[in-house]
Amino acid sequence: MRSQIEGSRAIAQAIARCRPQVVPAYPITPQTHIVEALGAMVKSGALAGCEFITVESEFAAMSAAIGASAAGARAYTATASQGLLYMAEALFNASGLGLPIVMTVANRAIGAPINIWNDQSDSMSMRDCGWVQLYAQDNQDAVALHVIAFRLAQELSVPVMVCVDGFVLTHAVEAIDVPGAEIVDAFLPPMSARQRVDPSDPVAIGAMVGPEAFTEVRFLTDADLRRAAHVFPAQASEYLRLSGYHVGEVSKYRLDTASTVVVTLGSVSGTVREALDDMDGDIGLLTLTMYRPFPAAVVRSALAHASQVIVLERAFSPGAPEGPVTADVRTALAGTGADIKTVVAGLGGRAVTRSALHAMLATALAGELPAVSFLDLRADVVERELARREAGVAT
């Protein structure tokens, strides 16, 4: 049903349609409206058959989700930023145990310094944890991805995190069509788990595995994750058939001929498209929806014509030679000769403007874009501060 609704609440409604059974929740900006909405639905009885647990930390939230999922129940939680890091140990544990948990990450910067606004540092820092990572471009995307996420998780026995840019999407009020129960029920089968805690068939889940078998376990976890490459498209097709809404591992814009392509994730892709519409020139846009497992083959084929690839990063790893997504793209394009650049944009909620994008793209078209650059960097501030460091001047 289409309505003017805040992104968070649309997501909450989509979650509710998926019949979660256990929702452990710990608040952190900017995810709070999601869990508040779910809490109210459970408390009022609107969402039946679900227990909403107000836990004492994000670590507890993921832990409770692990327990619930191990019982064979459909478990969901949401977090961001510091909270995601606080549950880091549990993220690895959930994927290691193969539990089909779904979680929303309302992308937010990581401190220090503390910053509540949007970038993708949080989910990027957890790209190694063995979860499927899906990035929503807009709230309609977010709704669809969450519904698919539950089925994907169940099918793969792998946990899935759906990344939604904090504030930008979560707090945006817009027209969103949340699929009705009949669509979701047709799409999403009842919960069934590969393994569960069950007195009628007792097993010990969570053994200690030594050198003789650990490598194989990891190999198999990776193999489970990689199955998303064909399971996700199949499920997306079915979702399209039922709802009319299309998602894919990637979205392509003007890629047929473009020799310069911007690659990005999340909501900034809308701004990039608008910027491209303003410009002449052969510039295309590839937006990754699925980031883990990395759809290398799809990326390679989408960028077949590109000679210059500009990866617009929403996160950065200090000391790294380039951005995280850039490195993955470079691996996917190995041997193609494409020139790949990192542009770090919008850290800590800095607005990504069309004018800034225009300027950056002009530089790129002129062949003068450095290997790594920061969009809209306040050069005067950094130069002053760098000079002070050199001089060892006390403030």
Partner 1 sequence: MTIQEVKFYQVGSRAVGNRLLSEDLRTEQANENRTNALNSGHRACQGCGEALAARYVLDTAMDAADGQLAVVNATGCLEVFSTPYPESSWQVPWLHSLFANAASVASGLAAGLRTSGRGDVRVLAQGGDGGTVDIGLACLSGMFERNDDVFYVCYDNEAYMNTGVQRSGATPPAARTATTEAVGPEPGNRFGIGKDLPRIAMAHEIPYVATATVAELHDLEAKVRHAMSLRGARYLHVLVPCPLGWGSAPADTVRIARLAQRSGLFPLFEAEHGTVTSVVPIRGRVPVEEYLRLQRRYAHLFAAAGDADRQAATLRAVQAIADRNIARYAIPVEEL
Partner 2 sequence: MNKPFAITLDVKSSLANHTGTWRSERPVYVDGLPPCTHACPAGEQVQAWLYAAEDGSYEQAWRRLVNDNPFPAVMGRVCYHPCETACNRADLDTAVGINSVERFLGDEAIRQGWRLPQPGAATGRRILVVGAGPCGLAAAYRLRRLGHAVTIREAGSTAGGMMRHGIPTFRLPRDVLDAEINRLLELGITLELGARVDNLAEEMRAGEFDAALLAMGAPLSKRAYIPAAQSARIIDALGLLADVAAGERPQLGRTVAVYGGGNTAMDVARTARRLGAEEALIVYRRTRAQMPANDIEVEEAEAEGVRMTWLSTIAGVVGDTLTIEKMRLDDDGKPQPTGEFEELHADSVVLALGQDVDRGVLATLPGIAITDGVVEVGAEMMTSVAGVFAAGDLAPSVRSVTVAIGQGNAAARGIDGWLRSIGSSAPKPTAPSSAVPVAFGQLNPWYFSDAPHVVRPRLDTARRTDDFAEVVGGLDADTALYEARRCMSCGNCFGCDNCFGVCPDNAIHKVAEGHGYAVDYDYCKGCGLCASECPCGAIVMEPEET
Q: Point out which residues bind partner 2 (CB under 8 A).
A: 96-98, 157, 194-196, 198, 201-207, 209, 213-214, 216-217, 220
Using the rule CB under 8 A, which residue among 46, 175, 205, 382 binds partner 1? Answer: 205
Does 63 sit near partner 1 (CB under 8 A)?
Answer: yes
| Least Cβ distance, residue 70 to partner 2 (angstroms) | 10
From the list 14, 87, 31, the residue with the least C-alpha distance to 245 is 14
| Closer Cβ to partner 1, 82 or 308, answer by number | 82
Does 216 sit near partner 1 (CB under 8 A)?
Answer: no
216 interface partner picked from partner 1, partner 2, none, CB below 5 to 8 A per type: partner 2
Does 88 sit near partner 1 (CB under 8 A)?
Answer: no
Using the rule CB under 8 A, which residue among 1, 2, 4, 207 binds partner 1? Answer: 207
56 interface partner picked from partner 2, partner 1, none, CB below 5 to 8 A per type: partner 1
| Least Cβ distance, residue 231 to partner 2 (angstroms) | 16
- Cβ–Cβ under 8 Å, residues 299 and 332: yes
75 interface partner picked from partner 1, partner 2, none, CB below 5 to 8 A per type: partner 1
Residue 368 tokens read as 């003068």
Using the rule CB under 8 A, which residue among 36, 40, 67, 155 binds partner 1? Answer: 67
- Cβ–Cβ under 8 Å, residues 58 and 28: yes
> Amino acid identity, residue 21?
Q
| Least Cβ distance, residue 200 to partner 2 (angstroms) | 11
| Closer Cβ to partner 1, 9 or 17, answer by number | 17
Residue 332 tokens read as 């996917």
3-state secondary structure of 86: helix
Does 71 sit near partner 1 (CB under 8 A)?
Answer: yes
Does 72 sit near partner 1 (CB under 8 A)?
Answer: yes
Does 209 sit near partner 1 (CB under 8 A)?
Answer: yes
From the list 171, 140, 164, the residue with the least C-alpha distance to 314 is 164
Q: Burial level of 219, CB count in 10 A (0-12/13-18/19+)?
A: exposed
| Closer Cβ to partner 1, 56 or 280, answer by number | 56
Give the helix/strand (H/E) hosting 149.
helix 139-156
Stretch that binds partner 1, among 114-122, 193-201, 265-273, 287-295 (CB under 8 A): 193-201
User: Rounded to whole angstroms, how far apart are CA atoms 169 and 173?
Assistant: 8
Stretch that binds partner 1, among 116-124, 154-162, 206-214, 301-309 (CB under 8 A): 206-214
b (16+ CB within 10 A) / e for 251-284: bbbebeebebbbbbbbbbbebbbebbeeeeeebb
| Least Cβ distance, residue 91 to partner 1 (angstroms) | 11
User: Rounded to whole angstroms, how far apart are CA atoms 219 and 203?
Assistant: 23
Q: What Å distances lie between residue 289 and 132, 142, 203, 263, 351, CA to CA?
A: 11, 10, 37, 11, 21
Does 60 sit near partner 1 (CB under 8 A)?
Answer: yes
| Closer Cβ to partner 1, 50 or 160, answer by number | 50
What number of other Cβ atoms are within 10 A of residue 226's Cβ?
A: 15
> Amino acid identity, residue 370?
P
| Closer Cβ to partner 2, 175 or 223, answer by number | 223
22 interface partner picked from partner 1, partner 2, none, CB below 5 to 8 A per type: partner 1
Does 281 sit near partner 1 (CB under 8 A)?
Answer: no
- Does 20 sit behind a cis peptide bond, omega within 30 degrees of 0 on the bond before it? no
Residues 6+ apart with CB under 8 A from 85: 110, 122, 125, 126
| DSSP-assigned letters across all residues of 247-307 | --SEEEESTTT-SEEEEEETTHHHHHHHHHHH--SSEEEEEESEEES--HHHHHHHTTT-S
60 interface partner picked from partner 2, partner 1, none, CB below 5 to 8 A per type: partner 1
| Closer Cβ to partner 2, 44 or 200, answer by number | 200
Which residues of this chain interact with partner 1, rule CB under 8 A? Answer: 21-22, 24, 49-51, 53-57, 59-61, 63-73, 75, 89-90, 93, 97, 191, 197-199, 201-210, 213
